[in-house]
């Protein structure tokens, strides 16, 4: 106690209090700064949901430019189908109009059936249709293996009365629509940064199963070109649907490895590749015959061609000229000008298809329109590449031109789906 009766002041205690107060202020300031920049401190436990933007479907007219282009290609296809096939049809069936009748029959049946869906079907219907056509494809591909008819060393067709159906053509469309449905439904998961629960599972594994089931069944038919087209279309839709680029490159790497392995173990594949690379050294009367005769036809057409119906190569040189190598007859009869005209029609149709897809009312419709247009573009490019010997001969048909009832009917129906999609858009309400 001091002389005044008070306790002595504890100097050290006061200093400690001051230091503590200063530290509290510093920590408080730091805590506020951290709270302003850290989501953990700023995000509320119960998020306030933002009001969803409501949109409604608006129906309008079909894309007339797309429709007119399809009609023009069908008219050209019918004309060239007859011109290329009349000698072969007379020789094989005793009726020079055999393939023209076949073409017109399937075109009319498919057009009549498709018109109904163009007028009445909406995006909701096409979503339900995706499940049905995919399931139907699987069943039909299984039936081919049991009761299918064979031809050219492959078992690919089912006979239903007078009609022969090739299920792999329906399966191509089914893969596109089922992938579009799946990838539009899981769009957020596909683009997420969570690898195994998101981008890999929903962006690679599940779409891969959708494609893989069909590919395995088509492989059992020994339909290599069908496997190739389905795989390429599937990867294209996966990419458009949001699968990350790194996984797309990984898939391409696996496919390249599998292709190289197939060539190494398959003498048939080795022969095809050797013929393609060294066609001048291959027996011109053997495996090189079809390709060489097609190249002769293209070269002899010149600028303006020999004239419609005046092909020489279709008289027993280009085998089955109405089929995969019909473009060579087009070049011979209509020349460079005719070939450019037909390719321009295809180019315009593809451009309009992409345009319709970009304006589609929803993600599903967009992916379907893109996928079907990519399928058309791929088949045109691959067919031209085969007949010009830019790639090995794999038996790929030219849409709207090559003979084949199922293929033609499905192509018309696919164009109808795109036209149906073109009728719908969405707007805010």
* Count of other CB atoms within 10 angstroms of residue 398: 24
Query: Which residues have a Cβ under 8 Å from the Cβ of 65 and sit 6 or more positions away?
Result: 348, 352
- The two tokens of residue 415 are 């164009």
Q: Give Rg (Cα) of the chain.
A: 32
CA 367 to chain centre: 9
- Total H helices, total E strands in the chain: 15, 5
* pLDDT confidence bin for 417, thresholds 50/70/90: very high
DSSP label at residue 280: G
- Comparing C-alpha atoms, which of 359, 414, 407 is closest to residue 77? 407
CA distances from 85 to 79, 109, 320 (A): 10, 21, 7
pLDDT tens for residues 269-310? 777 787 888 888 777 777 788 888 999 999 999 999 999 999
**DSSP labels for 151-212?**
ETTEEEEEEETTEEE-HHHHHHHHHHHHHHHHHHHTHHHHT-S-IIIIITIIIIIHHHHHHH
pTM: 0.83
The rounded distance, in Å, linking the Cα atoms of 97 and 52 is 60
Q: Read off the pLDDT of residues 75-101 as tens digits, 9 standing for 90 and up.
A: 999 999 999 999 999 988 999 999 999
Neighbouring-strand partners of residue 159: 164
Q: CA-to-CA distance for 426 and 359, rounded, in angstroms?
A: 9
Task: For residue range 216-256, list pLDDT tens digits in order.
Answer: 998 888 777 888 899 999 999 999 998 888 888 888 888 78
Reported residue count of the chain is 429
For residues 205-210, average pLDDT? 92
Q: Which residues of 373-395 are buried (b: 16+ CB within 10 A; e: fewer)?
A: bbbbbbbbebbbebbebebbbbb
Q: Is 163 or 89 the better-scoring residue by pLDDT?
A: 89
């Amino acid at each position: 106690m001091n002389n005044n009766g008070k306790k002595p002041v504890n100097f050290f205690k006061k200093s400690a209090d001051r230091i503590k107060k200063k530290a509290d202020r510093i920590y408080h300031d730091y805590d506020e700064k951290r709270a302003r920049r850290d989501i953990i401190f700023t995000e509320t436990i119960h998020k306030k949901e933002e009001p969803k933007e409501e949109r409604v479907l608006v129906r309008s007219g079909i894309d007339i430019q797309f429709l007119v282009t399809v009609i023009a290609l069908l008219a050209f296809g019918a004309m060239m189908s007859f011109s290329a096939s009349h000698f072969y049809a007379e020789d094989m069936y005793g009726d020079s109009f055999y393939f023209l009748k076949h073409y017109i029959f399937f075109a009319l049946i498919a057009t009549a059936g498709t018109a109904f869906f163009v007028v009445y079907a909406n995006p909701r219907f096409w979503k339900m249709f995706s499940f049905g056509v995919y399931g139907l494809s699987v069943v039909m591909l299984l039936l081919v293996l049991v009761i299918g008819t064979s031809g050219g060393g492959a078992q690919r067709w089912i006979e239903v009365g007078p009609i022969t159906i090739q299920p792999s053509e329906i399966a191509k469309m089914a893969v596109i629509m089922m992938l579009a449905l799946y990838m539009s439904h899981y769009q957020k998961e596909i683009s997420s940064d969570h690898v195994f629960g998101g981008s890999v599972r929903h962006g690679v594994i599940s779409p891969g199963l959708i494609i893989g089931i069909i590919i395995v069944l088509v492989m059992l038919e020994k339909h290599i070109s069908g496997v190739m087209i389905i795989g390429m279309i599937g990867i294209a839709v996966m990419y458009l649907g949001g699968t990350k680029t790194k996984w797309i490159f990984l898939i391409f790497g696996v496919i390249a490895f599998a292709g190289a392995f197939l060539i190494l173990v398959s003498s048939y594949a080795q022969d095809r590749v050797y013929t393609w690379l060294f066609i001048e050294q291959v027996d011109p009367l053997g495996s090189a015959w079809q390709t060489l005769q097609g190249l002769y036809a293209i070269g002899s057409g010149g600028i303006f061609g020999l004239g419609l119906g005046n092909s020489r190569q279709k008289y027993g040189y280009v085998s089955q000229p109405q089929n995969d190598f019909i473009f060579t007859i087009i070049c011979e009869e209509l020349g460079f000008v005719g070939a450019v005209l037909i390719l321009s029609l295809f180019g315009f149709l593809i451009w309009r298809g992409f345009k319709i897809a970009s304006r589609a009312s929803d993600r599903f419709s967009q992916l379907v329109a893109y996928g079907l247009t990519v399928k058309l573009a791929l088949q045109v490019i691959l067919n031209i590449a085969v007949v010009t010997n830019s790639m090995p001969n794999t038996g790929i048909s030219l849409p709207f031109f090559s003979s084949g009832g199922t293929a033609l009917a499905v192509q018309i129906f696919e164009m109808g789906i795109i036209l149906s999609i073109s009728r719908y858009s969405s707007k805010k309400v």
